[in-house]
Amino acid sequence: MIGFWSAIALASAPAASGINAELNDIYERIAAAAAQRDPLLSRQAYSPDAAFLDERRPAMQIGDELHQSMRESMEALGRSGAQARISYRVARRSVQGNVAIDSGYYRVVFTPPGEGASPAASYRKFLVTAERLSDGNWYITNDASLPSSQEAYERSEPSAGLKFDP
């Protein structure tokens, strides 16, 4: 839950525009693809040679290995009938030309199939490097994800123009 003043700031904050909107779109693409259990999720948001670092994996995944792993995860999610909803809170952004660095938190809520199924939430923190590629769109080129907590996610504060889901 966000605090009173954070809620006021969020409600009165102008919509993201320009480069912030373009970068925020990366997270929108990921969330939409996960909600649809789209096996091409990674191709919509990650560069062809992207690197992904996660303590749950034995080694960094790069390029085709990353895309294949994400494809398999989405296919498994689809076969299971479960739903995944991802919410992002970008806490900080630095942009230098066609390179951006974002840090923040995200929450993934998994809902198993079946009536009365109880959802489970996972909280993570991230550090992402994104680049504007030759097609004019921004893509993640490096992604590091680490465990976090519900408390840290809920304590995060909105920043003008940066992605901040409820």
pLDDT at 131: 98
Mean pLDDT over 29-55 rounds to 92
> Which among 35, 164, 23 has a CA at the least distance from the CA of 105?
164
pLDDT at 116: 86
Does pTM top 0.75 for this prediction? yes
> Which among 33, 79, 64, 55 has a CA at the least distance from the CA of 144?
55
Q: Mark 119-128 as b/e (b = at least 16 C-beta within 10 Å).
A: eeeebbbbeb
> Which among 99, 1, 65 has a CA at the least distance from the CA of 73?
65
Higher pLDDT, 6 or 40: 40
Full DSSP string of 15-78: PP-HHHHHHHHHHHHHHHHHHTT-TTHHHHHEEEEEEEEETTSSS-EETHHHHHHHHHHHHHHH
Q: Does domain 4-155 have CATH number 3.10.450.50?
A: yes
Amino acid letter, residue 83: Q
pLDDT at 117: 87
pLDDT at 57: 85
pLDDT at 115: 86
pLDDT tier for residue 166 given thresholds of 50, 70 and 90 = very high
Those residues with Cβ within 8 angstroms of residue 121's Cβ, 6 or more apart along the chain or in another chain? 107, 108, 109, 110, 150
pLDDT tier for residue 17 given thresholds of 50, 70 and 90 = low
pLDDT tens for each residue of 118-150:
999 999 999 999 999 999 999 999 999 999 999
pLDDT at 108: 97
Q: What is the mean pLDDT of the chain?
A: 89
Look-up: residue for tokens 């994800």?
Answer: 145
Mean pLDDT over 96-120 rounds to 95
pLDDT exceeds 50 at position 73: yes
pLDDT tier for residue 3 given thresholds of 50, 70 and 90 = very low
3-state DSSP call for residue 166?
coil
pLDDT exceeds 90 at position 4: no
pLDDT at 62: 96
Q: Which helix (H) or strand (E) holds 127?
A: strand 120-132
Look-up: residue for tokens 């649809």?
Answer: 36
